[in-house]
Structure 1
Amino acid sequence: MKQDSFSGRATQGSFFEGLFVRSLQASGPFAEELRACGYDPHHPKAIYPIEVWNAALEVAWRRCYTGWTREAAYREMGRQLALGFLQTWMGKVVDMGLTMLGPDRLMARIPSLLALDTFRYELKVQPLGPHQYRVSIRNDPDAKPELIAGLLEAGLGRTGVKPTATVVMHREQDFDIDVTW
């Protein structure tokens, strides 16, 4: 079982709970495979090494999204992560504010909300026009733009709009996502 982080980076346990327990309801062989990579859905921890998060996402792709491309699966996992996280105690606190914020103010807060691990990559939100923004992430060693696009769509959906998040650029550790509604 993987316990240590080679990179020193960590991910919140509430993200694991949101995706794997609340949304995907890991059990049986799926839960066993998650345990083998370092996450036990029945004995959660407050934080996990980023390597466990990455391995668990791959397990979920193989187990829950058979036949899907990695990009499509990760986008759906981003949506499911958002919806499941909002069912956790921490997520319920966040969710109370989402509907009151509205989409434009939520976009302004994305840099503080979109921290999946302890690594502080460069994140910028730039307005492009009415109801249109670009989210730019740079120097993310584990760049998963489709996961982030799914998170953005689900989170913004909680503000009462129907958003579309499109990955417009992805090069190694850098990506841009255009968000409209």
Structure 2
Amino acid sequence: MTRKPRSVPPEQRQVYVQVVEGLLQHGLRGQVSPRLRERLRQAGVDLDRPLLPLYPVPLWTRCLHIVIEEVHPGVPREEAFRQLARAHVEGYGATLLGRAVMGVMRVLGPRRVVQRLPEVLRGTDNYTEAVLTERGPANHELHINSVVDAPGYVEALFEALLQVGGARSPRVTKVREDADGTVLALTWTEP
């Protein structure tokens, strides 16, 4: 079955609650200081109230920047975003939906995890489209229709997902980034 691409204008792009919950309520458990909580509230995410079903992408991006400033001060930006991405994957696995997704990923193996990434990404927001091209058994190219203003974050996020699927030495590198989105190379060593 071919799905109709989601054509969502940038100003209407939103991330789903489980993405926000995964990082802010689970991935950062024990690291949300009163100052971080207040800065997130001022930005538009109030952790003292039930989370909203959707958050605008610019707000979510701002939250990521606030988190690295507060949780990883003094750490180079790219490394801070990489650490945040790993915590995000771990935290997402603690959400109701994330537990189910991660449970399936653990038994699939890395190749099938990568093959399911377009579907997994559709469950994180209302706009992401992903096209996967296989270059070899442990070598794929992934084109996503967005650019994330967080150097190293997307790469580390996908590396962590590959590890969940059992990949050894996963490596995700940005091939190019332009107005149409981001192209990533995903490689690993077969188990």
- Fold match (TM-score > 0.5): yes
CA contact (8 A) 1:23 1:84 kept: yes
What is the root-mean-square deviation in Å for CA atoms of aligned residues?
2.0
Moved more, 32-41 or 65-74: 65-74
Please state how far the C-alpha of 1:62 moved relative to its aligned partner. Answer: 1.0
In the TM superposition, 1:37-48 aligns within 5 A as 37-43=43-49, 44-48=51-55
1:141–1:149: structure 2 CA closer, same or farther, 3 Å change rule? Answer: closer
1:93-151 alpha-carbon deviations (Å, 9 max, x no partner): 1112111211111111111112442124x42111111211111223x264656322112
What residue in structure 2 maps to residue 53 of structure 1?
60
Over 3 Å counting, the alpha-carbon distance change for 1:42 and 1:53 in structure 2 is same
Aligned mates of 2:33, 2:20 — CA distance in 1:
14
Separation in 2, partners of 1:98, 1:23: 18
Matched, 1:102 2:109: yes
Structure 1: give runs of 5+ residues left out of the alignment: 1-5
- Aligned-pair identity (%): 28
Question: Which has the higher mean CA deviation after the structures are superposed, 159-168 or 34-43?
Answer: 159-168
Matched ranges for 1:14-163 at <5 A: 14-25=18-29, 26-43=32-49, 44-115=51-122, 116-120=124-128, 122-138=129-145, 140=146, 142=148, 144=150, 146-162=152-168, 163=170
User: Greater shift after overlay, 111-120 or 126-135?
Assistant: 111-120
Letter in 1 for 2:65: E
CA drift of 1:23 comes to: 1.4
Alpha-carbon contact 1:145-1:167 (below 8 Å) kept: no
Aligned to 2:186, the other structure's residue is in SS state: strand
| Runs of at least 5 residues in structure 2 that lack an aligned partner in the other structure | 1-9
CA contact (8 A) 1:137 1:176 kept: yes
CA contact 1:10–1:50 (8 Å) conserved in 2:
yes
TM-score by length of 1: 0.85
For residue 8 of structure 1, report the CA deviation from its aligned partner.
1.9
Q: What secondary structure sits across from 1:61 in the alignment? A: helix
Give the total of aligned pairs. 174
